[in-house]
Amino acid sequence: MNRVFKILEGDRAIWLITFFLMLASLLLVYSSIVTLAYKYHSGNTTFYLLRHGFFLVVGLGIIYLIHKMRYTYLSRISQLLLFLAVPLLLLTLLLGANINEASRWLVIPVINQSFQTSDLAKLALILYVARMLSLKQADIKSFNVAFIPIVLPIILVCGLIFPANFSTATVLFTVCLVLMFIGGIPVKYLLGLVGTGIFLVIFALLIGKVVPDLIPRAGTWVKRIESFSEPDSKGNYQVEQSKIAIAKGGFFRLTPGKSTQRNFLPHPYSDFIYAIVIEEYGFVGGGVILLLYLTLFFRSMRIVAKKPNSFGSLMVIGISFSLVFQALINMAVAVNLLPVTGQPLPLVSMGGTSMWFTCIGIGIILSVSRTIESEYPSDLSPNLQNKNEYAGA
């Protein structure tokens, strides 16, 4: 085992959490893609198993390559990623593949693989905000010098994601707010930004109701909110099937591959995969998955506590909070604590490019951990806070 961890550097607990979640993903996706296989591949579930396994193996390779990179290089790269993400988001809105009245995907030529551009935009914006916050620390209280240059890209990116993917835009906006708060942006500016955001969302919902063709997804958002606020009303099919799956799971159940609700749940391999977790492994299994995500966040904060430079700290906070926040939303939807959204369970739900971007995020966290360990050995860690920050953003 020690020989393995000499190759896989960085926080060992995060490596183990990643392996376990990927293993769970393989089992759960294989169990839940029966209806999908019958619909598109004559019941050939092996096709999806091999396909998903390929994405997982490539994802591990991505984590390994990224974690070997010195994370400070990402400061400059974040600018390039953001400049690439913005036109891609615009192109997706105009020409993207339209599924369920939402243009979220571009199809990559030759390999014919769909690509959700918001995944790139999320990562790019988190890195960019971390960079700008670290560079503007001397003037962090200034409205013109710090707040405006940081908030404009946030509004642009979230605004381009919003029409097709309200939940992703909201998650990303929240992550950026948390980063700005931790980075020292005055609270009065953040409260003003939150108030403006709430006003714009309500305005968009009203416009969508009055002029449905202008924002086609607005009707879906309103229905989901109404369905959540009125549990006894019709149109809550997804949640009802999820509740049935959870009830069948009970406290402890060990029946891998024996789910019955996979035949009724929409998207049991992605949006509602947590319901399948509980149906096949009970509340104990669901609790283990929840604990793994919370441990991932805790270990990430341990990395921040070792005091990398401000860019590294903010980057780890942003990425880890984004992953765990998304996971909590997915779980909350499955147990009917939040309205239905389209947020997958990171590292567990079936996905191609979304899985890979999650792996890039994990690789970056491990890169920060590895760099700290290589430059400041563990026997010197108690004095780490007294050392000068090494080169960064």
Three-state SS annotation for 262-302 = HHCCCCCCCCCHHHHHHHHHHHHHHHHHHHHHHHHHHHHHH
pLDDT on residue 390: 36
pLDDT on residue 263: 86
pLDDT on residue 374: 77
CB 318 within 8 A of CB 163: no
Residue of higher predicted confidence among 117 and 42: 117
Statement: residue 377 has pLDDT above 70:
no
CB-neighbour burial class of residue 285 (10 A; exposed 0-12, middle 13-18, buried 19+): buried
Measured distance CA(317)–CA(337) in Å, rounded: 25
pLDDT on residue 103: 63
pLDDT on residue 340: 83
pLDDT band at 188 (very low <50, low <70, confident <90, very high): very high
- 308, 295, 325: which is closest to 126 by C-alpha? 325
Output the average pLDDT for the chain.
85
Tens-digit pLDDT profile for residues 292-301:
999 999 999 9
pLDDT on residue 384: 40
Measured distance CA(162)–CA(158) in Å, rounded: 6
**Residue 34: partners with Cβ closer than 8 Å, 6 or more residues away:** 43, 45, 262, 263
Q: Which of 71-75, 87-91, 149-153, 205-209 has the lowest mean pLDDT?
A: 205-209
Residue 327 tokens, joined: 């996971």
Residue tagged 């990398």 (tokens): 308
**Residue 335: partners with Cβ closer than 8 Å, 6 or more residues away:** 242, 246, 274
Q: Which of 139-153, 211-225, 280-294, 375-389 has the lowest mean pLDDT?
A: 375-389
For helices 74-95 and 148-161, what crossing angle results, to 10°? 40
Centroid of chain to Cα 137? 27
Q: Is 103 helix (H, G, I), strand (E, B) or coil?
A: strand
**Residue 127: partners with Cβ closer than 8 Å, 6 or more residues away:** 74, 75, 77, 78, 81, 82, 315, 318, 364
- 8, 4, 17: which is closest to 294 by C-alpha? 17
Any alpha helices (H) in the chain, and if so which ranges? Answer: 2-7, 12-32, 34-40, 45-67, 74-95, 117-135, 148-161, 166-183, 187-210, 218-229, 237-249, 273-305, 310-334, 353-375
Measured distance CA(24)–CA(56) in Å, rounded: 11
Residue of higher predicted confidence among 200 and 4: 200
pLDDT band at 83 (very low <50, low <70, confident <90, very high): very high
Residue of higher predicted confidence among 133 and 42: 133
Highest mean pLDDT among 36-40, 249-253, 317-321, 331-335: 317-321
pLDDT band at 380 (very low <50, low <70, confident <90, very high): very low
pLDDT on residue 60: 95
Statement: residue 175 has pLDDT above 90:
yes
Statement: residue 203 has pLDDT above 90:
no
**What values do phi and psi take at 29, rounded to 5?**
-65, -40
Q: Is the pTM for the entire model greater than 0.85?
A: yes
β-sheet bridge partners, residue 375 = none
pLDDT on residue 163: 83
What single DSSP character describes residue 106?
E
pLDDT on residue 62: 96
β-sheet bridge partners, residue 99 = 102
Query: If you average pLDDT over residues 32-48, what whole number do you get?
Result: 85
pLDDT band at 97 (very low <50, low <70, confident <90, very high): low
Query: If you average pLDDT over residues 274-301, what whole number do you get?
Result: 95
**Residue 387: partners with Cβ closer than 8 Å, 6 or more residues away:** 376
Residue of higher predicted confidence among 331 and 100: 331
Measured distance CA(207)–CA(223) in Å, rounded: 15
pLDDT on residue 61: 95
Given CA atoms 210, 212, 213, 217 in this order, what sign does their dihedral have? positive
pLDDT on residue 233: 53
What single DSSP character describes residue 385?
G
For the chain, domain boundaries: 1-69+236-310+317-360, 73-230
Statement: residue 268 has pLDDT above 50:
yes
Half-sphere exposure of 372 (CA within 13 A, CB side): 30
Q: Percent of the chain beyond pLDDT 70? A: 85
